[in-house]
C-alpha cells in the first residue's frame, strides 16, 4: 500500500477508534480522504504537518441544554449544538437543523461537508453546522417561537457576523430564522443583520436566497449535461423531498424544459405522470404545512405510495435526491441504473451512500456530488452577508446571475482538477481536491493552530 493510502487509513481508523458510534461522520470523512490521495502524494509536506488529523477535528464543539414550555404548560428539554468546524477561510458558516435524528455524528458530518462545500463557492466563509433534536413537526407557531428563543439565548454567546453565521437546513426555514433573529437582537442589544442568513426580505435577507439551493442544483446539472453534449429539455426527472431544496429544484427543472414526475416526504411519494403541479406542492408544504399525500385529493391522475424510498423505483433520465442523507443506498442505485438513469445530482447533503456513488460511477452515470451541486444555497448566503456588510441590496436578477456564475465555476474547477489529478470525469474527487488543497495551504500558512 502506498504511504499516503496508509496515512489516510490510519487517520480514518483513528476516527473510528475515538468515536465508534459516529457513523455518518466516518462515511463523509472516508469519502473525502480516500479521494484526495493524489493531492497528498503531490504535497508530501501535508502529512508532515498532520493536516488530515487537524482537518477531521472540529475547532470547537458546543453542546447545550434548551428548556422551553409547550402549549399545555409542560416543560420540555432538548439538546442544542453548534459545531464550529473550520475557520481557515472565514467565519464559520452553515445551517441549523431541527430534527429528532440530530446528534453529534450528524452535525460533524454536515460541518465537515460544509467546510469543503464552502470553499468551492470561492467566497470568504469557513464551515460549521448546528441544530437540535427538537422536532418541529406538529408543533404550533408559538411552540416553535418559544423553542427558538430559548435555543438562541444560549447560541447567541457563540455566534456573530465575524465569528459564526448560522442559517437554515432541515426543519429551519424563514419562520424559524425570523424568531432566531428577533431573539439574537434582543439578547445582544444590537442590529447585526449579517449574523444569520436566510432572513426575511424585509429585514435584509437576500433576494433569491430561498430559491438558491434548488436553482443552483439545476444550474450545476445543466453545466454537467451540456459538457457532454446533452440537455435538460425533454428529460424525465425524479425528485425526492418536498422541502425548500426540492421545491425550487422542481421549479427550475420545469423552467428548463424537463418533466418532473415525483416528489416525496418522510411518509411516502407522489408519482404524477402529467408532471408535478408545483403550485399544489407549495400550497401543501409551505402554506398548510401538510403531508404530500394530500396531493392526490386534487390530482386524481397521480399515485401516492407509502414509504419514501420507493421513489427510486420510478423510471427517469435524471435523479435529484433532495430529501436527506443516505436516501439512496446500493439497492436504490442498482434500480436507478437498471431503469436507465443517465445523471444524478445531489440536492441534499450526502444523499447517496458510498456504495451507491461507486455504483453510479462504475456504470457511467454522470454524478454531481452534493458538496458541489448544492453549494448554491450557502453561496447566496455568503452574498447575503456581503449585502448586509454593504448595507445594500442587489436585485433578484443580479443575485441569480452571480449564482449562475458560481455554479459554472464550481463545475469547471471540479472537472479540470479531476483531469489534472488523473481521474477525469470524477467530480467527487475533483471537488474534494479543489477544497482540500485550498484549506490545507491556509492551515499551513497560519501555523500550528
Ligand atoms: N444548510 C444549507 C447547506 O447545507 C445552507 C447553509 C447556509 O446557507 O449557511 O449548505
351-367 pLDDT tens trace: 999 999 999 999 999 99
| CA–CA distance, 441 with 433 (Å, rounded to integer) | 12
> Taking a C-beta distance cutoff of 8 angstroms, is the pair 61, 92 a contact?
no
Atom of ligand 1 nearest to the CA of 374: 10
C-alpha cell at 203: 429585514
Measure the CA–CA gap between 145 and 159, rounded to whole angstroms: 19
Cell readout for 37 is: 490521495
Percent of the chain with pLDDT over 70: 100
Question: Is 393 among the domain residues?
Answer: no
Q: Which residues are catalytic?
A: 129
52 and 171 assigned to the same domain? no
Q: Do 52 and 82 have their domain in common?
A: no
Query: DSSP secondary-structure letter at 133?
Result: S
pLDDT, residue 296, reads: 97
* From 89, 93, 94, 116, mutation site for ligand 1 pocket: most ligand atoms within 8 A of C-beta: 94
pLDDT of residue 342: 98
| b (16+ CB within 10 A) / e for 324-360 | bbbbbbeebbebbbeeebbbbbbbbbbbbbbebbebb
- pTM comes to 0.97
Residue 419 maps to a domain: no
Q: Per-residue pLDDT averaged across 143-154, rounded?
A: 98
Please determine, for residue 22, whether its predicted confidence score (pLDDT) is greater than 90: yes
| pLDDT the model gives residue 335 | 98
Q: Which atom of ligand 1 is nearest to the CA of 349?
A: 4
76 and 170, same structural domain?
A: yes
Q: Is the pLDDT of residue 26 over 90?
A: yes
Q: Supply 228's cell numbers.
A: 457532454
CATH number of the domain to which 446 belongs: 1.10.285.10
The pLDDT value recorded for residue 449 is 83
pLDDT at residue 34, as a whole number: 98
CATH, residue 165: 3.40.50.10860
Number of domains in the chain: 3
pLDDT band at 133 (very low <50, low <70, confident <90, very high): very high
State how beta strands 303-306 and 268-271 pair.
antiparallel
Residue that finishes a domain, picked among 317, 339, 364? 364
Closest atom of ligand 1 to CA, residue 381? 8
| Whole-number pLDDT of residue 90 | 98
**Is there a single domain that holds both residue 167 and residue 299?**
no
Separation CA 89–CA 169 (nearest Å)? 21
Together in a domain, 165 and 83: yes
- State the residue range of the domain holding 185: 60-191
For residues 42 and 103, membership in a common domain is answered with no
In a domain, 172, yes or no: yes
The pairing of beta strand 127-132 with beta strand 303-306:
unpaired
The pLDDT mean for the chain works out to 97
How far does the centroid of ligand 1 lie from the alpha carbon of residue 197, in Å?
9
Q: Quick one: which of 76, 187, 93, 212 has its CA closest to 132?
A: 76
What is the best residue among 96, 114, 197 to mutate for testing ligand 1's pocket, by most ligand atoms within 8 Å of CB?
114
How far apart are alpha carbons 384 and 161 in whole angstroms?
A: 11
Residues 141 and 249 in one domain: no
* Mean pLDDT to the nearest integer, 239-247: 97
Report CA(44)–ligand 1 centroid distance (Å). Answer: 33
Half-sphere exposure of 237 (CA within 13 A, CB side): 34
Kindly report, residue by residue over 60-72, the tens digit of the pLDDT.
Answer: 999 999 999 999 9
Whether the per-residue pLDDT at 1 is higher than 80: the answer is: no
From the CA of 168, how far away is ligand 1's center (Å)? 6
Amino acid at each position: 500500500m502506498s504511504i499516503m493510502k496508509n496515512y489516510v487509513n490510519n487517520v480514518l481508523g483513528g476516527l473510528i477508534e475515538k468515536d465508534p458510534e459516529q457513523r455518518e461522520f466516518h462515511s463523509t470523512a472516508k469519502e473525502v480522504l480516500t479521494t484526495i490521495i493524489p493531492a497528498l502524494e503531490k504535497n508530501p509536506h501535508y502529512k508532515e504537518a498532520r493536516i488530515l488529523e487537524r482537518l477531521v477535528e472540529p475547532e470547537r464543539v458546543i453542546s447545550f441544554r434548551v428548556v422551553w414550555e409547550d402549549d399545555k404548560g409542560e416543560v420540555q428539554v432538548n439538546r442544542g449544538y453548534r459545531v464550529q468546524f473550520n475557520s481557515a477561510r472565514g467565519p464559520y458558516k452553515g445551517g441549523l437543523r431541527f430534527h429528532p435524528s440530530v446528534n453529534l455524528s450528524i452535525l460533524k458530518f454536515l460541518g465537515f461537508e460544509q467546510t469543503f462545500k464552502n470553499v468551492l463557492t470561492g467566497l470568504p466563509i469557513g464551515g460549521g453546522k448546528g441544530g437540535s433534536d427538537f422536532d418541529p413537526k406538529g408543533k404550533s407557531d408559538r411552540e416553535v417561537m418559544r423553542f427558538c428563543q430559548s435555543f438562541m439565548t444560549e447560541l447567541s454567546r457563540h455566534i456573530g457576523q465575524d465569528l459564526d453565521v448560522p442559517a437554515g437546513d432541515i426543519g429551519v426555514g424563514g419562520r424559524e430564522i425570523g424568531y432566531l433573529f428577533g431573539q439574537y437582537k434582543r439578547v445582544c442589544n444590537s442590529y447585526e443583520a449579517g449574523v444569520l442568513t436566510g432572513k426575511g426580505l424585509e429585514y435584509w435577507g437576500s433576494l433569491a436566497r430561498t430559491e438558491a439551493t434548488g436553482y443552483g442544483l439545476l444550474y450545476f446539472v445543466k453545466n454537467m449535461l451540456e459538457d457532454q453534449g446533452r440537455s435538460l429539455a425533454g428529460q424525465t426527472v425524479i425528485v425526492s423531498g418536498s422541502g425548500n431544496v426540492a421545491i425550487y429544484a422542481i421549479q427550475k427543472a420545469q423552467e428548463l424544459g424537463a418533466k418532473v414526475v415525483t416528489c416525496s416526504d418522510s411518509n411516502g411519494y407522489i408519482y404524477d405522470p402529467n408532471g408535478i403541479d408545483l403550485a399544489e406542492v407549495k400550497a401543501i408544504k409551505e402554506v398548510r404545512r401538510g403531508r404530500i399525500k394530500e396531493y392526490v385529493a386534487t390530482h386524481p391522475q397521480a399515485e401516492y405510495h407509502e414509504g419514501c424510498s420507493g421513489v427510486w423505483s420510478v423510471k427517469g433520465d435524471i435523479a435529484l435526491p433532495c430529501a436527506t442523507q443516505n436516501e439512496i443506498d446500493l439497492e436504490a442505485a442498482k434500480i436507478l441504473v437498471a431503469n436507465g438513469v443517465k445523471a444524478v445530482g445531489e440536492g441534499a447533503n450526502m444523499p447517496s451512500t458510498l456504495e451507491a456513488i461507486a455504483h453510479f460511477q462504475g456504470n457511467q452515470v454522470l454524478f454531481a456530488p452534493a458538496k458541489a451541486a448544492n453549494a448554491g444555497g450557502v453561496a447566496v448566503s455568503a452574498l447575503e452577508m456581503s449585502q448586509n456588510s454593504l448595507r445594500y441590496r442587489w436585485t433578484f436578477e443580479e443575485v441569480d446571475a452571480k449564482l449562475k456564475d458560481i455554479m459554472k465555476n464550481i463545475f469547471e474547477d471540479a472537472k479540470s482538477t479531476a483531469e489534472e489529478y488523473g481521474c477525469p470525469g470524477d467530480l467527487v474527487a475533483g471537488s474534494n481536491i479543489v477544497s482540500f488543497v485550498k484549506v490545507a495551504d491556509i492551515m499551513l500558512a497560519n501555523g500550528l493552530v
